[in-house]
Structure 1
Amino acid sequence: MTPTPKLPQTATWTEIQAQPDIWRDWSGTLASQSRDIREWIAERGIDTVWLVGAGTSAFIGGIIAAERTDLRIEDRASTDIVSCPQDCLAANGKILVVQFGRSGNSSESVGVLDLLDKHRPDIDRLHITCNPDGALATRPAPGPGQMRVLSLPEATHDRGFAMTSSFSTMLLSALACLTDFDPARIPELAEQARRLIDQLAADSDIMRPERAVFLGSGALRSLARESALKVLELTAGQTVTQWDSPLGYRHGPKAAVNDLTHVYVSLHPDLHTSRYDLDVAEEIRSQFPDIRVTTIGRGGDIDFAGTGDARADAVLHVLPAQIRAAQWSAELGLPVDDPFQGRNLSRVVSGVQLYDWQS
């Protein structure tokens, strides 16, 4: 293997680099709009929130739902709702469906809208989207359920294949709307992200492994899933990836580790939890002394302070995967912004046959 080249000036790299400035510029507007949305949620008497998306957008839900809040928050992928509506649409209570979408036009986003319109028009909706012209932003709800739209800055509507700034900005925005996360902390995150991006981008000696594993506890488990997906996508499947929790990984999945594996372990900001993260990192290092095991987070090999909130700190933990994935894609000679070149996967999933459901 040859050393990884520095990142070319692609849309993907530009969007990765832009994240700190996007977050900082958005934070003031987000503070005002999220306050209005929280007041609306309280007025509507919401007791249950479904976090809905597909792929990367679904992993946002997994990160947020991992920690308890005043609201009952459930992680429900749009791919599951569309294929198995019988599992959820008969639910009782005052429900808010929060849909995430970079384009807002994916087949499953539209499928969820169709199901709600026909079978549960009483459910309230909050759409967090990067595209002001997409279905999530423009398609009205039939009522009696109400709808709100949070349109993110234009710069978050990534032109590259992989979701980067869209993922991180939708995550921070949802946290501000649904939890006690204060948008005033975003500039602090942005400053740490800028230093981290510069540090990681300057290190061009991290060679692409045959296999890349990402592990994280609690909210960082879904972050590990997003990290694994970034590498898998941008290297067009030529780097095999895994994700899991540090404790879960020992129960069989660790069988995939070999001498050509690079393992990344996110360190949870909770000191009790991070003990388990560190233990699995040390175990793998002792069993495979010749492979790279990289810890990410406070006191780790990739070190940053974070905020102490794992959900918000996820936007820092994802940066190594975003940057390495883009570097390794370039190493393979792939077009980083379109690694599949029109085959197998596309930037926006479309063309899925949606079937009418008779409840």
Structure 2
Amino acid sequence: MNSNQTSMLTDEEATLYDRQIRLWGADAQLKLRQTRLLLINVNSLSIEVCKNLCLAGVASITVFDNTRVTLDDIKENLTLTMSSTDINEFKSVCTCRTLQQLNPRVQLIAESNMTIDQIDEKYIEQFNYVCLFNYYDFSIISHINKLCREQQHIDENEKKQIYFFCAATFGLYGFVFKDLGDKYDYLSENSVGSESLIKGEGGNETKKSEKITTKSTRNFITFDKALSTEWKPNRRQATTRSAIITYNLLRALLTFYEQYHRAPALVTQDVDVPNFMKIIHEKITSSTAAASSSNSIDTEEFNEELVKDILTDNNAVASIVGGIMSHDIVKAISKQEPKDNFFFFNGLACVGLSIPIAC
């Protein structure tokens, strides 16, 4: 697509995206049309995000997954894009083929010939956003995050930055992390004081304050730095306690992968559940050893039923977390004020919370 083609929206696009243009403006829609995304790993969450961004009208989405569809995928979590006739087909191919029907204007590309450890600087540089889903190898997450960071440079138009998102859902829980670079510039609206007008004998009439748009900057950090920083939230607040549960589950999943080189699974639950319980209890005990009893998280909150639950996919949770993540990506593309670097969702408590960790 040349510069003339990207300088303005066509009448057809203006009609197709009319509702969202009214929501975030034509400039934001034009930036969406110039955005290229890489989505790594196909699951219910990544499919939800892919669907949302496809409907939003981004330039292209590359779906990166070299695994094939199984009967368990059909039964559990991939019914949005796959059927029994797709067994043994690549998940990325099925996803692109189905979601392409939602918006033919978006280029959907299936990448099924590479593995995640083959992703390098040259491959990353063709994208604006890289999103990694349900992957718990801490070294790989950190490596891809670092690759995105290293692609920052100044081009003839503006600063070029590849932004990194990482997200997962596990049972009734989920999280989203984003790294928008050391200095993320965005536009924010600020109110300029109110002005009082005299109206006859009735006294003062207050005029609405004027809003002006200003340029602001916010700093973000990498995933490994965020997870290596000790987070000491106010545990007495119910909403924060709900986020702590999701946060501890995430850390335990990363540790489980580090020890066993895989994520816990339903087929091996007899072994995985006790091992996972041991990991999470050790982490909770060590993190609350110096805290008072009134602030600590009770290890009984992490019972065997909760651990078994995180081994299954939940499409409802994927829809909620995927919606939040998609909205965050659109806000970043349109340079709106970003939320905090972490979003934690606790479906059992029906609470979602954005939290800054070391950011």
Instruction: Mark yes or no: TM-score above 0.5.
Output: no
Report the TM-score, using the length of structure 1 for normalisation.
Answer: 0.27
Report the TM-score, using the length of structure 2 for normalisation.
Answer: 0.27
Larger Rg: 2
Structure showing the higher strand proportion among its residues? 2
